[in-house]
Structure 1
Amino acid sequence: MDFLHRNGELIIQHLQKDYRAYYNFLNFMSSVGDPRNIFSIYFPLWFQINQTVGTRMIWIAVTGDWFNLIFKWILFGHRPYWWIQETQTYPNNSSACLEQFPTTCEMGPGSPSGHAMGLSCLWYVMVTAALSHTVNRMDKFSITLHRLTWSFLWSLFWLIQISVCISRVFIATHFPHQVILGVIGGMLVAEAFEHAPGIHTASLSLYLKINLFLFLFALGFYLLFRLLDIDLLWSMPIAKKCANPDWIHIDTTPFAGLVRNLGVLFGLGFAINSEMFLMSCGGENCYKLSFQLLCAMTSLTALQLYHFIKIPTHTEHLFYVLSFCKSASIPLTVVALIPYCIHILMKPSEKKIK
């Protein structure tokens, strides 16, 4: 493992030296890979276009991030920005100093990369969903179009994955092998859920059972290791050695991601089984382009306003509770509240036309 770390450190030094001028672009690509964008950008768009794909996207994102957490706890992966300070492999303190950035100082273990895993999950779902619409007809023109679309979309997929992976290595948050593991892991999770039946018609009780299982398994896994005198939160004290304390955020802790994902899944289950959803998306409106566009634009606008809602971080347990509630409100807003309000507003105009 030290071999991977030392060679990874050399790659990071090379990137930071030769690609410093591209910092803004690389930092942007790192933000693109943030798993939270799945809920605030990609999901609102896809759910209004295709409810089945949008629902599957949430299930895959939540499950993929959960697997990412478990693997992080198992693999005990160091992050470059703290490993270089902690390692004893360099004689006479001869190790070089890696540059740190505002997005560097994440607090959980580093392997596999959550950004790379979440983004590969997401784009795998989007690419396969888009390609599925080009195979309905089998005439010569359709086959040619499918092949061209296949080449373009998978080229775009790998271009984005490689860009995000390079950006995560550049800011010294991950070693190269960690982002590679993330991409492969994300694709495997997405493929496993690709043909899972009944996800978009799951009952509220199933959502609650899955939520409870994911939470209890993760908590039990953590407590079991504590009984074995192994602290799975070992990375948090080390991460606080970040160059700038202001760059350390509680929402990058392992349990913060778990709570956020459980909140989103709970909110989706509650919303998709609510009367508001059935009234607004159960009728003809659901298939109207004007209705879909209004819902998508309103959802995106509303979720951007969520960024202004700051959760207090002075009490860790309170932060987790409020984070769960805020996350649950996202699918409730996208799936139930906004479509229902637009459905009500469109009713009077439909009556006038009749």
Structure 2
Amino acid sequence: MCNSATTNYACADHYLTYFRLPYRPLQPGRPASHPQLETNKGYSELTSWTGSQTRPLLLADVGPSSKRAGVAVLWVAAISEWLNLVFKWMLFGERPFWWIGESRLFVNKQPKVHQFSSTCETGPGSPSGHAMVTAAVWWVVVSSLGSFLYSRTHSVVLSAAPYLFYVLMLVAVGISRIFILAHFPHQVVAGSITGLILGIVLSRRVPEGRPLLFFFNFSIGLLLSALMLHAGLQQLGIDLSWSITLAKKWCSHSEWIRLDTAPFSSLTRDCGALLGLGLAQYWKPGGFSLPWAPRALSLAISSMGLYHVNRLPLPIQPQGLFYGLFFVKFVIVPQIVMVLVPGLVHLFTRKKKKD
């Protein structure tokens, strides 16, 4: 298995020839383009987006049909992403887009590679967060859907269809992460297996109906424990910003280095989402019971709302302000999906009682 400590040229060549990439010198900050890779940009960007940005949309998707499943989606997403951050701090995984240059295995003949806007993530690479969180979150969705289909049809074949989709989704996300040079294959496999285990375990312990204080304490606990771990590793002389330095050095476009891919961004996102989940259950403990048509309308409106929330520009300086607003942003997400939009749809579509 190849990893960051590998110094075997054959191992590196195995990854690169897997995609049959031609060779040419590569300099830091200078991308090498390839026409055939351009044709696959849409696929790589789509599957990367599927692995990272649809977690709130999944909450909107399954929340109206099963309140417990909706709560489980956000719960599993937040916990699995927090654990992914901890694993990355501990495992020091390289990313291919900077490892190719830093390894010094290609001094005379460096590979011709192509970067995308989603390539230049600044956190360590192992395990893959996209694969890990996707595996965990989608397990909640497909297991819930599979059980629903079996209860209605008693067909093993039909109820197995969501699990086939689950496997295909993980393969697609994993290939896209390897293709854009964000991860090595072993990082994707490790993330997928870990995510599957977390999905199975965490989906059995869903904090549905818990008081707001539980989510507040849990959110603050995750935040403080991560900060303490970060401080402890720094006291041991470990520079946790090493990956940010390498990402800035080897990313082909400086504008592709985004603060929302930094480790502390995922931390504030997770803590904000958990607090938001508690607030949403506090405002409307039982949720809204909607028929299928209003439910579909709620999904569509929630998706559009989250799209625009995700596009809201945040000031990157000072960084404390950015992280604070990023936290608030993800506190708002569950309110939109679980309270605001379903409440408005329920208000305008409910049938008035006859006198």
- TM category (shorter chain) comes to 0.7 to 0.9
Segments of structure 1 that go 5 or more residues without pairing to the other structure are none
* TM-superposed deviation, 1:9: 5.6
Q: Which whole-Å CA distance do the structure 2 matches of 1:29 and 1:334 have between them?
A: 23
Task: Using the aligned pairs only, state the percent identity.
Answer: 31
Query: Greater shift after overlay, 289-298 or 212-221?
Result: 289-298
What is the aligned partner in structure 1 of residue 136 from structure 2?
A: 121
Partner of residue 38 from structure 1, selected from 55, 77, 81: 55
Counterpart of 1:269 in structure 2 is 278
Deviates more, 1:90-99 or 1:293-302: 90-99
Partner of 2:31: none
Shift of 1:262: 1.0
Per-residue deviation, residues 77-102 of structure 1 (Å, max 9, x unmatched): 000111111114x2755443432222
C-alpha distance in 2 between matches for 1:170 and 1:273 = 43
Q: Cα gap change, 1:91/1:346 in structure 2, threshold over 3 Å: closer, same or farther?
A: closer
Deviation, 1:297, is 2.5
Q: Which residue of 1 aligns with 2:225?
A: 217
Q: Which runs of 5+ in 2 are unaligned?
A: 23-35
The amino acid that maps onto 2:157 is R
Q: Any idea what the Cα deviations from partners look like across 1:81-135, whole Å, max 9, x if unmatched?
A: 11111114x2755443432222110000000001111111122111110111234
RMSD over equivalenced CA pairs, Å: 2.2
Aligned partner (choices 158, 161, 181) of residue 148 of structure 1? 158
Q: Per the alignment, do residues 272 and 5 of structure 1 end up closer, same or farther by CA in structure 2, a change over 3 Å counting? A: farther
Q: Distance in 2 between matches of 1:259 and 1:12?
A: 35
What's the CA shift string for 1:15-67, capped at 9, x where partnerless?
Answer: 26396243322332122112x3201x211111112110010011100000011
Amino acid in structure 1 at the alignment position of 2:68: T
Q: 1-side partners of 2:204 and 2:115: how far apart? A: 41
Within 1, Cα distance between the matches of 2:8 and 2:125?
12
Task: Kindly state the Cα deviation for residue 201 of structure 1 after the two structures are TM-superposed.
Answer: 1.2
| TM-score computed with the length of structure 2 as normaliser | 0.88
User: What is the SS of the residue equivalent to 2:126?
Assistant: coil
Query: Which segment drifts farther, 238-247 or 95-104?
Result: 95-104
Q: What is the number of residues matched between the two proteins?
A: 336
- Segment of structure 1 superposing worse, 236-245 or 336-345: 336-345
The 5 Å alignment of 1:230-241 reads 230-241=238-249
Per the alignment, residue 71 of structure 2 pairs with: 55
| Structure 1, 237-246 or 69-78: larger mean CA deviation | 237-246
Matched, 1:296 2:299: yes
Q: Is the 8 A contact 1:131 1:146 kept in 2?
A: no
Instruction: Tell me which of 89, 97, 103 is aligned to 2:118.
Output: 103
TM-score, normalised to structure 1's length? 0.88
The SS at the match of 2:219 is helix
Residue range with higher mean Cα deviation, 127-136 or 78-87: 127-136
Q: Match of 1:48, SS? A: coil
Find the aligned partners of 2:8 and 2:219 in 1 and give their Cα distance: 36
Cα deviation per residue 1:274-328 (whole Å; 9 max; x = unaligned)? 1xx24xx55xx61533442332222222222213411111321111001111111
Quickly say closer, same or farther: Cα 1:317–1:199, change in 2 above 3 A: same
Q: Distance in 2 between matches of 1:237 and 1:212?
A: 29
Partner secondary structure for residue 350 of structure 1: coil
- The AA in structure 2 aligned to 1:306 is V
Letter in 1 for 2:209: T
SS of equivalent residue, structure 2 residue 124: coil
SS across alignment from 2:230: helix
The aligned residue for residue 147 of structure 2 is 132
Question: Does structure 2 retain, via aligned residues, the 8 Å contact 1:8–1:176?
Answer: no
Is the 1:9–1:175 contact (alpha carbons within 8 Å) kept by the matching residues of 2? no
